[in-house]
A and B are shown apart, each in its own frame.
Chain A
Amino acid sequence: MNDGLLLALPVVLPALLFAALGLAWLLDLRPSEAAVGRATSTCWALAVLAVAALVLGSLGGLPPPSVEFGRWFFGGGRHVTLALRADALSLVMLSLSASLVGIVAVFSRRYMHRDPGFHRFFILLNMFGAGVMLLFAAEPFELLAVGWELVGAASVLLVAFYQQREAPARGALRVLAAYRCADIGLLAGIALLHHAHGAPSGATAAAVAFCFLFAAMGKSAQVPFSGWLPRAMEGPTPSSAIFYGALSVHAGAYLLLRARPFLDASAWAAGAVVAVGALTALQGALVGRTCPDAKTSLAHATATQLGLIFVEIGLGWDVLALWHIAGHAVLRTAQFLRAPSLLHDHHRLHSGAGGHLTSAGAPFGALLPRPFQDWLYGFALDLRGRGLS
């Protein structure tokens, strides 16, 4: 099959499935859980095969595949070209995305079984999948922005998945606020690029780099936007895994890797990337120590690693950053997917060790007076404000 078509397949298939499932829901047609699950798994299996073929072709020395579908819209001499291109950076992210979304889709068939929002979850998962594949395969920045926005919208809607409670709704609004801030940077950067006819230099290149850094900070939960990441954990665990462990949070780092020519043109921008990353890593590491539940701890651990990835990008170590992204995404997805079974795992380990596991932090906690320990425990679990301690 033609390389261009192979590249388009992983983007188009999830988009078509999203449209079909969404239309069925609006028309009040209710396909069975098994049918939705099978269609999604098949779609992502085909996407993995297509990307694998592209990777094999690339390893065999073929040039980076690309495909162009013409102009999307134009008015007053301005247009967006519908072009996809998969260089080494894109191929790594596409392989990662197709595999992880596929794994999460299979996991979710059981995890979401008989949940009233089963269909809604899979509609949004496929919307996210289409968005993330487009984000990583897009050639022009305008098309990257399309994927970026789709990922953001799916993310907000999934954080508020359990919408009958107030906490997820509040968390989703916090995520929305951070994402909208990030969008300002992306849109301004793209407009500056267009204004410079795609080849900015000097001050314009530095401005583009700073705009993209601002966008990346919001999307990848860097200081001062990092507060949204723990709040996003209100969504279902599989979506937390794929969004905030694996793919969505790395979109900012990917944008910076794509913006390498502009970062190279401005030492100040590169320095700012290092500073932001270092600060986030420090903040994530410190705050993560105080978290009482598994998913929030994982959120802060994710922010810490993203901070380190930013430092690597700022220092120009792109290959290391890319490996770091890949390794981190895979490990964190596994950790998030195991998070609901954490207590079970711990008890099994505890039994296996003959009941000799020392609880984390206990030696330090024992130094404090007992009443203060109780107060701290209640404070950490936010019980005092609700009069429960």
Chain B
Amino acid sequence: MILPALHAALAVGLVLSAPRSLRTTRWTLGVLWIGACASAAYLSRSTAGAALAWAAAFAPLLMAGVFERPAGPWAAFSLAFFPAQTGLAAAFERGPLLPTALLLNGHLGALTASRLLAALPPDDAAAARPWVVALALFMALASAVLALRETRPRRVLARLAAGQGALILAGLACGNAAAQAGALALGQASAVAMTMLAGVCASLESRVGAALERPGYLGLAAGAPRLATFFAVAALTLAGLPLTMGFPALELLLGGLFEVGPAGLALPVVSALNGFVVLRLFALLFWGPALDAARGMPDALPRERWFLSAAVLFLLFGGLFPSALLP
């Protein structure tokens, strides 16, 4: 029951904390729709129900005039072809950041794929599992390597989201209890952490505009030290730092994947690469000589601070007492 409630809470949190310039009535309804569809997919007991909810979640992204800028039909559709989302980076870069991140962080593709696998006859499922795990780990590794090339915030977030989804699929498809517990824990941790990262990026975009895409160090911590702290906690969670929920998720996933075979060795590499990429993004955004636009810009506003603080508390609670959140 945690995941459906979590996705609904994330959608409401994004609506309450998003920059005012974005929050039209249509935008709000679109985000709430995506959150509701994600919750419905997790609540659904059948594979068809989950797939239907997943498809329905795309509707606002395809409709013109709902969000601030259209994702483009190809980019939006390509999100569906999990885990080979070819247009993912374009969807993040050109489309609406917060709704796209909310949709991707539901990892409904991984959920549907694992349910399809579970619905197969036992012998077929047993034969398919190692291949699905290997493919998912390969996709996670490919996403991590592609992310190394990216420096623009939106594109980095896209690669990270794809990588997290592939890891979750690897865990769910693995078939042993430790890996599945790890995948579900990673689902919770990455949904919250990635939504935080997207939320902070949207807040920064509303403050400094296109300067956020400028190459090099932006030094935004000078103007927004608390946004930097929230971003750092989310980044460290994705890097698997102990005391955040990322650590138990990684440990469980690692233990479970090793039971299957040596392909599990890819997980430490993926984790290391993802951790480096997300912390490099933190460094590029917040360290270095400050941009002119960063001087005097407002730090986290109260509405942003409450949502991000609640998210930080969730990640720390999950890091200290993971058993309370694990199935």
Whether B177 lies near A76 (C-beta < 8 A) is yes
Give Cα A156–Cα B221 distance, bound, in whole angstroms. 16
- Contact bitstring B290-321, A, C-beta under 8 A = 1, else 0: 10000000000000000001000000000001
Give Cα A164–Cα B327 distance, bound, in whole angstroms. 44
Chain A 160-218 residues near chain B, CB threshold 8 A? 160, 163-166, 168-169, 172-173, 176-177, 180-181, 183-184, 187-188, 190-192, 194-195
A153 at the interface (CB under 8 A from B): yes
| Cross-chain contact of B276 among A26, A153, A177 (Cβ < 8 A) | A177
Whether A76 lies near B254 (C-beta < 8 A) is no
- Contact bitstring B245-272, A, C-beta under 8 A = 1, else 0: 0011011101110110000110111011
Whether B242 lies near A149 (C-beta < 8 A) is yes
| Interface footprint category on B | 35 or more
B6 to chain A: which residues have CB within 8 Å? none
- Contact bitstring A94-128, B, C-beta under 8 A = 1, else 0: 00000000000000000000000000000000000
Whether A75 lies near B269 (C-beta < 8 A) is no
A355 at the interface (CB under 8 A from B): no
Whether A76 lies near B247 (C-beta < 8 A) is no
Whether B272 lies near A80 (C-beta < 8 A) is no
Distance (Å) between the CB of B273 and the closest chain A CB? 7
Q: Which 8 A-B pairs have the closest CB atoms?
A: A76-B177, A75-B181, A76-B178, A169-B287, A146-B242, A73-B322, A187-B268, A180-B272
Whether B256 lies near A184 (C-beta < 8 A) is no
Whether B327 lies near A191 (C-beta < 8 A) is no
Give Cα A184–Cα B250 distance, bound, in whole angstroms. 12
Whether A75 lies near B177 (C-beta < 8 A) is yes
B47 to chain A: which residues have CB within 8 Å? none
B56 at the interface (CB under 8 A from A): no
A78 at the interface (CB under 8 A from B): yes
Label chain B's interface by main secondary structure.
helix
Whether A187 lies near B271 (C-beta < 8 A) is yes
Q: A75-B182, A76-B179, A145-B242 are in contact. Are A26 and B252 (CB under 8 A)?
A: no
Q: A75-B177, A77-B178, A188-B265 are in contact. Are A165 and B289 (CB under 8 A)?
A: yes
Whether B178 lies near A173 (C-beta < 8 A) is no
Q: Which of B125-133, B190-198, B202-210, B278-286 contacts A (4 or more CB under 8 A)?
A: B278-286
Whether B236 lies near A153 (C-beta < 8 A) is yes
Whether B255 lies near A194 (C-beta < 8 A) is yes
B18 at the interface (CB under 8 A from A): no
B65 at the interface (CB under 8 A from A): no
B78 at the interface (CB under 8 A from A): no
Distance (Å) between the CB of A197 and the closest chain B CB? 12
Which residue of the partner chain B has the closest CB to A183? B272
Q: A26-B226, A75-B327, A183-B268 are in contact. Are A153 and B241 (CB under 8 A)?
A: yes
Which residue of the partner chain A has the closest CB to B277? A180
A364 at the interface (CB under 8 A from B): no
B187 at the interface (CB under 8 A from A): no
Whether A169 lies near B229 (C-beta < 8 A) is no
Whether B276 lies near A163 (C-beta < 8 A) is no
B180 at the interface (CB under 8 A from A): yes
Whether B271 lies near A164 (C-beta < 8 A) is no
B8 at the interface (CB under 8 A from A): no
